[in-house]
Structure 1
Amino acid sequence: MGTRRLLRLQLGVLLALTAVASVALSAAYDDTHRRPGAVRDRIAPAVLEVAAARTALMSAHLAARDHLDSGLTDEAGTDETYRTQAAAATQSLSQIADEQVAGEAGERALSTVTALLVVYQDAIDLAVRHAEQGALGRAWFHSADTILNRRETGILARLDELQDDQLRKLSEQTVFTGPRRTAWESAAAALAVLAVALAVVQWQLNERFPQRLNPCLLAACLILLASVKPVTWAQGTQRLLEGAREELVEVVDRQSGVRVGEGFREEELDETRAATADALEEVTRAMDATADRGTGVAVIVAGGFAVAALSLAGLQRHLSQYRFRS
């Protein structure tokens, strides 16, 4: 093959491989660094708000039970703790309506929970109103307890279903799935092929021209080696995403299957509240730590342009200097 034709072929191959490698690496990197914002701003608050609503409901129910067991009744109904926690649960449910990430299924679950909560509160009010009648008051409280704790169809069970749907969304954003692995493997393969192509071109030029090393192609290789840095950033971000998922799942697991039964203590709910607050702080801190890495896409694109420009400069000099026949 004539030297001029070979130079043109080399240039075309290098430019094409540079474009492919840049697009593949920037796409994989962008996918990784778009996810922390979604976890921090939408998914984590949604998951923790359901946890807060669940805790408030259990705390209110515990307060109502203790109030009725004490034998104290008044016209206001239950005591201040119940009213405070019931209001907190209602506020959390209202907040969940704006934040939940389970789509239409989540909306239906929340609508059902809201309706059940009204029935539950009516049953508690009737239990307090008829507390002095003994059996009737206990019957109404048992009805409220069933509405709250009933397996599969109770308020807590429906909140658990909503939480499961949200945890699936969390997994979608934090798990290093097959497609994501494929994207990174494709980017790595594209970078490897480009590195080999640069080495081959350097060798071919050394065979045909007296210059031992082409400084422009050498600089392009050094830039290619620098692509390790964005890969390292992405690995760190993925680890933080997985850590955030573990924090949130731990909070949910702490509540999983919990019902207000005999021997249940308020201290357990206090521990859950503390864990929820700690998880929100930890997840926010971890996701904020990835914010400055979002510029990596621009760095990758700039690196791709630099490699292309250096490849062009390194070969254009020979194309302009020599006029060989094909």
Structure 2
Amino acid sequence: MTGTRRLLWLQLGALIALTGLATALLAAAYDDTHRRPDAVRDRTAPAVLEVAAARSALMSAHVAARGHLASGLTDEAGTDETYRTQIAAAVQSVSQIGDRQVAGEDGRRALSTVNALLVVYQETIVLSVRHAERGALGRAWFHSADTILNRKQTGILARLDELQRDQLDELSEQTKFTGARRAGWESAVAALVLLAVALAAVQVVLYRRFPERLNPWLLAACLILLASVKPVTWAQGTQRLMEDARRELVEVVNRQSGVWADEGFQGKELDRMRNVTAGALKEVTQDMDATADRGTGVAAIVVGGVAVAALSLAGLQRHLRQYRFRW
């Protein structure tokens, strides 16, 4: 086999191998980036915000019960309408958390305990209202209910907070540009650069050994390679949107915790928090929906890789024929 023919075959093999490697790495990194927004939108964000909603409803119910007792207007009718509305909302939110939570088995155990404590809490509030006219006894029952709700580590809110921390950890894992993900993208970009260098090297060989200043097939392959910048920029945009979503959700959780930590909080502040929670879900959903069309990029990457390999073969095939019988 002549030296030129051997060189052409080696270069063709290198082009096809590098094309396959670059395509696989780029498609894998791109797919990892664009699979995560769906999970954030459909599962993690609703789970985080549902816990926030349950917290807000519980706090509103507790405020309403305390105000009802302080008003001195309690009677045998029991708790007031505001309390009943908010506690029903809290129960509904806790039920929905069970379907959406992303904290695994630990989350299921925490929710089981929260459900049990929530039943006891409601019964205790009813007893506090029923015995409100007896003064100290009513206050004692309400203090017991307050303890069930607010006890450190073992109260309802503490257990919801623990569940929320686990969910925020999952959210962070889904949305952060981790070291492993960075390595995947760096490998993909490095493979693309090597492929570009290899295409340029083949063009130089053809220029020196054949009367061909510019191979149109290899030029087309280079143009397709340049188009790979687009998936990279799409992925960068998607990553920014996921990080924005994480910051938005964390801010909602922190603001709600701050409201409850304020001893002078009022029911209207909790109403504002519910509006903030609803607005956050809408914004996160819109951001994640904005990435939906980019998910088809994996197919485009694969098609582009096949096209580059085919163009490389076409670009060298004519010259390989010239050396078909030269050994």
- What TM-score do you get using the length of structure 2 for normalisation? 0.97
The reply to whether residue 48 of structure 1 matches residue 49 of structure 2 is yes
Q: Distance in 2 between matches of 1:239 and 1:188?
A: 19
Shift of 1:119: 1.0
The reply to whether residue 100 of structure 1 matches residue 96 of structure 2 is no
Shift of 1:260: 7.5
* Residues 40 and 287 in structure 1, CA contact (< 8 A), matched pair in contact too: yes
- Residue 176 (structure 1) aligns with: 177
Give the counterpart letter for 2:99 in structure 1. Answer: D
Report the secondary structure of 1:211's partner residue.
coil
Q: Distance in 2 between matches of 1:271 and 1:261?
A: 15
The one-character-per-residue Cα deviations of 1:123-155 (angstroms, maximum 9, x if unpaired) are: 101101110000000000001001101111111
* Residues 61 and 260 in structure 1, CA contact (< 8 A), matched pair in contact too: no
Q: Distance in 2 between matches of 1:65 and 1:177?
A: 46
- Residue 219 (structure 2) aligns with: 218
Q: What pairs with 1:1-326 in structure 2 (closer than 5 Å)?
A: 2-256=3-257, 258-259=259-260, 262-323=263-324, 325-326=326-327
The one-character-per-residue Cα deviations of 1:61-109 (angstroms, maximum 9, x if unpaired) are: 0000000000111223110000000000000011000000000000011
Q: Distance in 2 between matches of 1:154 and 1:41?
A: 29
**Between 116-125 and 62-71, the greater mean CA deviation after superposition:** 116-125
Give the counterpart letter for 1:155 in structure 2. Answer: I
Give the counterpart letter for 1:180 in structure 2. Answer: R
* Residues 3 and 324 in structure 1, CA contact (< 8 A), matched pair in contact too: no
Q: Distance in 2 between matches of 1:253 and 1:260?
A: 10
Considering only aligned residues, what root-mean-square deviation do their CA atoms show, in Å?
A: 1.2
* Residues 3 and 325 in structure 1, CA contact (< 8 A), matched pair in contact too: no
Q: Which runs of 5+ in 1 are unaligned?
A: none
Between the two proteins, the alignment pairs up a number of residues equal to 326
Shift of 1:256: 2.1
* Residues 22 and 192 in structure 2, CA contact (< 8 A), matched pair in contact too: yes
**Between 205-214 and 18-27, the greater mean CA deviation after superposition:** 205-214
| Over 4 Å off, 4+ runs | none
Q: Distance in 1 between matches of 2:261 and 2:206?
A: 78
The one-character-per-residue Cα deviations of 1:14-39 (angstroms, maximum 9, x if unpaired) are: 00000000000000000000000000
Q: Which runs of 5+ in 2 are unaligned?
A: none
* Residues 61 and 83 in structure 2, CA contact (< 8 A), matched pair in contact too: yes
Give the counterpart letter for 2:108 in structure 1. Answer: E
Identity across aligned pairs (percent)? 78
* Residues 48 and 280 in structure 1, CA contact (< 8 A), matched pair in contact too: yes
The one-character-per-residue Cα deviations of 1:260-296 (angstroms, maximum 9, x if unpaired) are: 7742201210111011010000000000000000110
Give the counterpart letter for 1:227 in structure 2. Answer: S
**Between 69-78 and 18-27, the greater mean CA deviation after superposition:** 69-78
Q: Distance in 1 between matches of 2:183 and 2:36?
A: 17
* Residues 149 and 259 in structure 1, CA contact (< 8 A), matched pair in contact too: no
Report the secondary structure of 1:256's partner residue.
helix
* Residues 62 and 260 in structure 1, CA contact (< 8 A), matched pair in contact too: no
Q: Distance in 2 between matches of 1:4 and 1:261?
A: 80
Shift of 1:205: 1.3
